[in-house]
Structure 1
Amino acid sequence: MSFDVDALLAELDLDAKARLLAGQDVWSLPGLPRIGLRSVVLSDGPVGVRGVRWSPDDPSVTLPSPTALAASWDPRLAVRAGRLLAQEARRKGVHVLLAPTVNLQRSPLGGRHFECYSEDPLLTGMIGAGYVTGVQDGGVAVTVKHFVANDFETERFTADVHLSERALRELYLAPFELIVRRAKPWGIMAAYNSVNGTTMTQHDELLNGVLRDEWGFDGFIVSDWLAARDTVASANGGLDVAMPGPRTVFGEQLAEAVRGGEVDEDVVDEMVRRVLLLAHRTGALGGGPTPWQSTVDGEAIAREIAHRSFVLLSNETGVLPLRAPQSIALIGALAADPKILGGGSATVFPEHIVSPLDGLRKAVPPSTDLAFAIGADPRTTLPPATDNFRLRATAKAADGTRLAEFPLREAKINWIGELPRGLDLATLASVEIEGTYLPERSGTHTFAVTGPGDLRLTVAGQTLFDGVNLPEGGDVFTSIMQVIEQRREVELTAGELVDVSLTYWIPSEMAEFARGTFAWVTFALGHRGPVLDPDAALDEAVALAGKSDVAVVVVGTTAEVESEGFDRTSLALPGRQDELVRRVAAANPNTVVVVNAGSPVELPWRDDVAAVLLTWFPGQAGGDALADVLFGREEPGGRLPTTWPAKLEDAPVTDVTPEEGVLEYGEGVYIGYSAYAKTETQPAYWFGHGLGYTTWVYEELDVYPDDEGGARVRVRVRNSGTRKGREVVQLYLAPTERGDRPPRWLVGFASVEAGPGESVESDIVVPPRSAEVWRDGWRHIAGEYVLEASHSYAQPRLSTRVVLQKIR
């Protein structure tokens, strides 16, 4: 079928056009069979493709977190990740991926920063452009988000961000601009927040003026879910699609606004053109472009991205890679139950997870003894019941009628946005997790319930909890992202089967959420068997470490620390993990600490251990990748995409809480490494830092002008070590006369590989924008600069003086 958008548009009356701009449900746009338009399906990302069901019975390949992908400093790897996600999207019937997130890591307290790439706009834009290219190669659209200045979670639905035009242009708009110009995305997502007094879903100046008119963006703009608030202002302000459907500010309301003369029908026609173009590009209308066809091995690329992202922060004694120790003590609750991804809308469900314990058990040499101890458990809520439980979920109507049954792999229900097929919010009254449990050990078993609303827990014929589970104040909506847990204990005997039931009644407020169109049914049954008391668990771990050749301690954050929906209040590792590391390190000088966190945490013991390895949220294959790196089969290839403070007080930006609805970005252009350098504050680890298993000598730096007014830079480096390795060559530009500019900033980078003794060259383009600032428009600042080829922000290796004069 040919694609003639004008002809198709002519066949639609006003009501049909208006309907196309409001979702038909939570995750899709309506189809129009008479013009050949199929329904367009949207789905959350960015580490996997969930599909339209938020359920573990529809598994997804789960890649490492966006911070991990950015730590690779490799846009080509991001392209491959995007192609895998396009493959997953097509498998699940998804046309539009709601990713990538290219907001900046303005403050280390940002609760959702694991989903963002970096504190630096260039690195963010380059990785984001690679990701977008890969996804769209596969015929699947993206929605680059959240446009713009949605760099925090506290009051993010309503906050008004006040910032200077210069900061907006040089920092927060910059990655979006780079991606639009380089990768030409088919979609952008407008954020919840306001910018300088105007809500982003109706921000004519930024949506129409900057995004479309100035940058030439030709795709569609969709609201974040429930973000569109005003029919007329949103349509005239540049929004194309209001989600979720079917009752939004568009649809019938938009048609009435046109009939009332508040919105010109020509505006609606342009909105529909962009939606039809989206459908064409993704194959839902008229065939569309031929997508990239090669098959991507999801497990293999998940494992590769993981080890390419791991950042070796320190390795002072050379303990890594491990050289066939006779015994290894693996310590930490996260070694057995790691955090592989961040919480919130980025959540997907992998078919399997390789934990550090699993990975090391498979990889450890036959001559090496591997023993495990929990040591300290940082989790403040119990994990969902799984082992030795046989469970199902039963959905019921108000009169007790069974509406449907579903098998469960774990004791958790997450029906968010859309209910399973056959269920309706109008008739669903309760959901019960029910089944049996066969205890392996006698003693005190702890059960826990989470979920906002009325719950009743019964175990072995005893009612352990029957009441309302809401945060203080009783507001059901604040508990959507804020987990409130109730724990109860019961004595059970090994080998004696018991019945288990947890019933959840849907709160009336939740049933009416978004006028009955957006489900949010989420609750869980947690369980923990008899365990050592915390002091005994620590003692056991220390004793194990003391008699082992090497101790590997896995520490990190939890779902209660890093998630969408709230910002962090501390950078300290939760629980007694710092105490665990200190005591293990005192017992064993060969202590390797593995940090399983999505964004910066304090590491007060970092100088007291043999090595520190950062693995981020490493996705489903993280345990295999960890074994690869620990035993030296692969090099830890990552470099920090954000600066890590030694302690929270050293962080230059810690203000993430609006006051009277306003969040001031008063720091201007000084965030991340620029802010540390301006105040001469020494962080724990600088932006760009990361060690490998070899060493590099920087031999030559040459600069050539290019035809665009920028420069081409050639850097030759030599692998001076004894094994093959990878180096990330980073270029920084420092003005000899600073004025109101940072001391220096990233202007380009490239990754290279070489064997022992080999030299390799990188060719890096430095664009003209690198020497421009925003002063009522982009202004080139001519003059003398120092160009540095560096191993990290704080480790320049070669430098040369250049005079940059604007040519074009």
Structure 2
Amino acid sequence: MKHKYLIEQMTLEEKASLMSGKDFWQSQDIPRLGINSMFLADGPHGIRKQAAAADHLGLNPSIPATCFPTAAAVANSWNVELGRKIGDYLGKEAVAQKVNVLLGPGVNMKRDPLCGRNFEYFSEDPYHAGKMAAAYIQGIQTHGISACVKHFAVNNQEERRMSIDTIVDERTLREIYLTAFEIAVKEGGTQTVMSSYNMLNGEYTNEHLHLMREILREEWNFDGVVVTDWGGSNDRVAGLLAGNELEMPTTGGETNEEIIQAIKSGKIKEDVLDECVDRLLNLIFKTEEVFKGAEPQPIDVDLHHRAAQEAAEESIVLLKNEDGILPLKPGVKAAIIGDFAQEARYQGAGSSIVNPTRLDHTLDCLQEFGIVSLGYEPGFERYGKKNRKKLERACALAEKAEVVLLYLGLDEATEAEGLDRQNMKIPDNQIELLHALQQVNPNIVVVLSCGAAVEMPWIGKVKGLVHAYLSGQAGAKAILRVLTGEVNPSGKLAETYPLRYEDTPACHQFPGKEVSVEYREGLYMGYRYYDSANVEVLFPFGYGLSYTTYEYSEIRVDRNGVTFNITNTGNRAGMEVAQLYVGCGDGQVFRPRKELKGFTKVFLNAGETRTVTIPFDDKTFRYFNVKTNRWEVEEADYQIMVGASSADIRLAASLFVEGTGAPVPYDKNELPSYYTGRANKVGKQEFETLLGRKVPVSTWDRTKPLGYNDTIAQCQYAKGWAARLAYRLMVFAYWFLRKIGKRSTANIIMMSVYHMPFRGIARMTGGVVNMPMLDGILMMVNGRFFKGLRHFLKERSKMLKAAKQKEQRVLAAEER
């Protein structure tokens, strides 16, 4: 241990105290030993350090910070160097605000387009997500503070995220859901990992010995700190055994006492606690070095704002450009329509909400870009309500214009942490407006602002489509620079856009509604499924247009990688994302038709040719063999494909690769869906064959009393009349708030109450409610109202008395 001498000076109580927070955002300190608190702050795309009232839902404002484009946007840049630069700026701002640990980036896979937090994640491909995340981490950590990659692992839905049991086979777990984390740990060198809320194959992730010990610690050699998601601790002692150092937020000392009693009873050895304390101390001392000496310098707000704009410019995706309607000609007379033109949708909702240092507005910038605005009309109500007068006024304006710039998107209450989307549609009132506008002016360019894939049955009604995603505080100018051609768009989609939601591979198994969610599609997520099953899509993974054209030629392949030429055959400079895909021909182990194994972004002047090399690495040919329980290589001829998207392969060659001689882990006849790739409707028996065991019952047992890990939503069938009444009042409040237009407030009920397990009442209240008090609440829920109420009040009185006695002891010690 690095800090053995210091640990030997600590009491058991002091060591245990370090294992949970001091308050909502800070770790515990021990002043007598010179151990200071760390400050942990949200920050995947900007620092969210709350100076006063703290929360985990983005309700209260934070100190102003640069709001960069979200991960879903920057992923479309396919530029790891850009990711490193953003990380660099985030690290500088973290130091300026005295933040030790920045809680990001998030690398969970976009298993389903309806996951409400997809705006905060990079990609549907683990290699792509891992490379982008590693770059962010490297940039952040150059400043001496720590990044915190999250949420480890297999957290791919928001509904019931604190209790859902994710059922996934080992190979899919390794290849799809852990690879990005592996890259973040091994290449990014992240010093902190955040465990996820959910269960994985029957065990909570922060207690999962296979995940936390065998894979993270032993296989990947991670020697940093694991922190729970806020309120994400179930059994504190089990978490400690798995190597989960820090529980956040504070529990008022309750779980520290659980650790102390477990050691005194011999349930765990003190050495286990010492090991965790040592790693936590290492993180504290490392990250506080940067704050010693002079006060941190304030950031250059203008410089960081420009950096946010540059990031947005490189991340915007041009999806349609019929008749060369873009770039707009100088002096074009435009009608600006759409509520999002006036109030930009530039970031997500929930714990990642940033209070921007400044915010560009489209209507203030038009003249600067040579666009003659004939006026602005909102055209629709932001939150979906139909308004005929607004629609008519927008059409009247559009009639006068040469081109209509129509700003559409999803509102803040639709994409949010803690909730999944109900569908993939743009709201009906926006589409009704689009159809009406097209009748009076066919020259429509849609600027789309949302954080995830949407259906576009209306795309035939528009000539131009620019997808800005959630482009940060400088996104308005970035969009206008792309529209006018000052910037040649180079973004490419990091997720597939299906024609309709029903085409997606997980649609029949998303989200898990009660006990569990089954990942029956296995490896076949995103483009891996669409390509393998020959399903037509609207826009393929890796797709994006430019104002110039590129030609690929002269592919050469050897054991080290692939080399080829790219020529800019157009008349303006631009950047092209070249993508390497690999497919295994005639193999005995089922695999997707092609998988991304490398990419690079190349700048080319008009007419310029460049020779590009994409090297192979340890992930190029590997697969996880469930019989040998390790990574293997299958001997076969591999197709080496280079393309402009997963569906636009420009060059191909073959390479024979010697294998590791591992036995074939599957019987082809027992897994027909997986060998054909048509894995969107896998039966229970076939999934159990892949899984190697029976799947658990996925529905609640309504005959059992409700317990710590049951959700508050389950009060709907509780034995206690008060619990059932509370449930009905909660549902009514949600309905009523939505009815009167208070959707954000209604969402808070779902995010912070409805889907929360009962233990969350104790874990998220900072010691206001402890577990013995929660026992009283559960008695009331389960039909023993008065006994439970007496128990609750008795335990509350005991807790208050103990707190008062502790306060008196502290005062007495200070007087001495």
Which residue does 1:616 correspond to in 2? 469
What amino acid sits opposite 2:351 in the alignment? S
Whole-angstrom distance in 2 between the partners of 1:278 and 1:148: 22
Tell me which residue corresponds to 1:684. Answer: 538
Q: 1:63 aligns with which of 44, 64, 68?
A: 68
Q: Which residue of 1 aligns with 2:512?
A: 658
TM-aligned CA deviation for residue 355 of structure 1: 2.6
1:400 matched residue in structure 2: none
What's the counterpart of residue 672 of structure 2?
A: none
1:361 CA drift (Å): 4.3
Count of residue pairs brought into register by the alignment:
647
Instruction: Tell me which residue corresponds to 2:765.
Output: none
User: For residues 149 and 277 of structure 1, do their structure 2 counterparts lie closer, same or farther at Cα, with a shift above 3 Å needed?
Assistant: same
List per-residue Cα deviations over 1:458-494 (Å, max 9, x = no partner): xxxxxxxxxxxxxxxxxxxxxxxxxxxxxxxxxxxxx
2:92·2:299 contact (CA, 8 Å) conserved in 1?
no
Of the three residues 767, 770, 793, the one matched with 2:617 is 767
Partner of 1:107: 112
Which letter maps to 1:748? G
1:26 to 2:24 alignment? yes
The answer to whether 1:736 aligns with 2:590 is no
After superposition, the Cα gap between the structure-2 partners of 1:219 and 1:92, relative to the gap in structure 1 and judged at 3 Å, is: same
1:204 equivalent in alignment to 2:209:
yes
Partner of 1:669: 523
SS of equivalent to 1:270: helix
Q: Which has the higher strand share?
A: 1
Q: Which residue of 1 aligns with 2:357?
A: 351
Contact kept, 8 Å, 1:780 with 1:806, in 2: the verdict is yes
C-alpha distance in 1 between matches for 2:332 and 2:501: 39
Residues 295-314 of structure 1 mapped to structure 2, 5 A cutoff? 297-314=303-320
2:40 to 39, 42, 47: 42
Corresponding residue for residue 377 of structure 1: 381
Letter matched to residue 592 of structure 2: P
Q: Which runs of 5+ in 1 are unaligned?
A: 382-532, 706-710
Cα pair 1:712 1:766 within 8 Å, conserved = yes
Tell me, yes or no, if the aligned pair for 1:70 and 1:117 is still in contact at 8 Å: yes
- Distance in 2, matches of 1:285 and 1:378, equals 44
Structure 2 segments unaligned to the other structure (5+ residues)? 52-57, 662-816
Separation (CA, whole Å) in 2 of partners of 1:727 and 1:83: 24
Q: Where in structure 2 are the equivalents of 1:254-293 lying within 5 Å?
A: 254-283=259-288
Q: Match of 1:714?
A: 563
Change beyond 3 A, Cα 1:292–1:671 = farther
Task: Provide the C-alpha distance between the structure 1 equivalents of 2:538 and 2:584, rounded to a whole number of angstroms.
Answer: 26
Q: Does 1:13 align with 2:19?
A: no
Q: Which amino acid aligns with 1:543?
A: A
Q: Partner of 1:770: helix, strand, or coil? A: coil
2:597 to 747, 760, 768: 747
1:123-202 paired onto structure 2 within 5 Å? 123-202=128-207
Distance 1:248 1:640, change over 3 A: farther
1:341 maps to 2:347: yes
Q: How far off its partner does 1:163 sit?
A: 0.6
SS in structure 2 at match of 1:750: strand
1:493 equivalent in structure 2: none
- Whole-Å Cα distance in 2 between the matches of residues 807 and 193 of structure 1? 35
The Cα of 1:806 is off from its aligned counterpart by 4.8
Q: Distance in 2 between matches of 1:570 and 1:71?
A: 23
Cα distance in 1 for partners of 2:210, 2:658 equals 31
Normalising by structure 1, we get a TM-score of: 0.77
The alpha-carbon deviation at position 57 of structure 1 amounts to: 6.3
Q: Give the deviation of 1:353 after TM superposition.
A: 1.6
Structure 2 residue 393 is the aligned partner of structure 1 residue 540: yes
Aligned equivalents of 1:41 and 1:768: distance in 2?
36
Equivalent residue letter for 2:215: V
The separation in 2 between residues aligned to 1:281 and 1:803, in whole angstroms, is: 47
- Paired with 1:535 and 1:754, the residues of 2 have a C-alpha distance of 48
CA change 1:57–1:741 in 2 (3 A) is closer
| Corresponding position of 1:787 | 640
User: Does 2:324 correspond to 1:318?
Assistant: yes
Displacement of 1:605 in angstroms is 1.8
Q: Distance in 1 between matches of 2:238 and 2:427?
A: 44
Residues 327-386 of structure 1: per-residue CA shift (max 9 Å, x gap): 111110011012111111111111322133233244335xx23421111123259xxxxx
Q: Which amino acid aligns with 1:23?
A: G
Deviation at 1:285, TM superposition (A): 9.4
SS where residue 118 of structure 1 aligns?
coil
Inter-partner Cα distance in structure 2 for 1:662 and 1:553: 41
Cα deviation, residue 608, structure 1: 2.6
Shift of 1:256: 2.1
Map residues 250-649 of structure 1 onto 2, 5 A cutoff.
250-283=255-288, 297-365=303-371, 368-380=372-384, 534-649=387-502
Could you tell which deviates more after superposition, 650-659 or 273-282? Answer: 650-659
Q: Tell me, what secondary structure is at the counterpart of 2:324?
A: coil
State how far apart, in whole Å, the 1-side matches of 2:289 and 2:266 are: 32
SS of alignment partner, residue 743 of structure 1:
coil
Partner of 2:127: 122
**What is the distance in 2 between the residues matched to 1:294 and 1:620?**
16
Change (3 A) 1:546 1:341: same
How many angstroms apart in 2 are the aligned matches of 1:586 and 1:792? 34
Deviations, residues 377-434 of structure 1 (Å, cap 9, x unaligned): 23259xxxxxxxxxxxxxxxxxxxxxxxxxxxxxxxxxxxxxxxxxxxxxxxxxxxxx
Structure 1 pair 73–113 and aligned structure 2 pair: CA distance change class (3 A): same
Deviation at 1:164, TM superposition (A): 0.3
Equivalences for 1:230-269 in 2 at 5 Å? 230-247=235-252, 250-269=255-274
- Given the superposition, is the C-alpha separation of residues 120 and 629 from structure 1 closer, same or farther in structure 2, using an over 3 Å criterion? same
- Aligned-pair CA distance for 1:286: 10
Distance in 1 (alpha carbons) for counterparts of 2:648 and 2:572: 22
SS at match of 2:619: helix
> Which amino acid is 1:220 matched to?
V
Instruction: Answer whether contact 2:579 2:643 (CA < 8 A) is retained.
Output: yes
SS at match of 1:317: helix
Q: Mark the CA change 1:285 to 1:374 in structure 2 (over 3 Å): closer, same or farther.
A: closer
Aligned equivalents of 1:138, 1:737: Cα separation in 2:
48
Most deviating of 674-683 and 262-271: 674-683
Tell me the distance in 2 between the aligned counterparts of 1:782 and 1:193: 37
Paired residues of 2:374 and 2:401 also in contact (CA < 8 A): no
Is this contact kept in 2: 1:101–1:145, CA < 8 A?
yes
What's the counterpart of residue 732 of structure 2?
none
Distance 2:157 2:498 in 1: 18
* Partner Cα separation in structure 2 for residue 682 and residue 314 of structure 1: 17
CA–CA distance in structure 2, aligned partners of residues 375 and 169 of structure 1:
47
- Larger % of helix: which? 2
**How far, CA to CA, are the matches of 1:566 and 1:662 in structure 2?**
17
Cα deviation, residue 294, structure 1: 10
- 2:631, 2:498 → 1: CA distance? 32
Distance 1:293 1:213 in 2: 40
Shift of 1:295: 6.8
Tell me: CA distance 1:752–1:644, structure 2 relative to 1, closer, same or farther (3 Å): same
Q: Secondary structure, in 3 states, of the residue corresponding to 2:115?
A: coil
Cα distance in 1 between the residues matched to 2:545 and 2:120: 24
Aligned to 1:96: 101
What amino acid does structure 2 have at the position aligned with 1:620?
Q
- In 2, Cα distance between the equivalents of 1:348 and 1:36? 33
AA in 1 matched with 2:370: V
Equivalent-residue separation in structure 1 for 2:219 and 2:425 (angstroms): 43
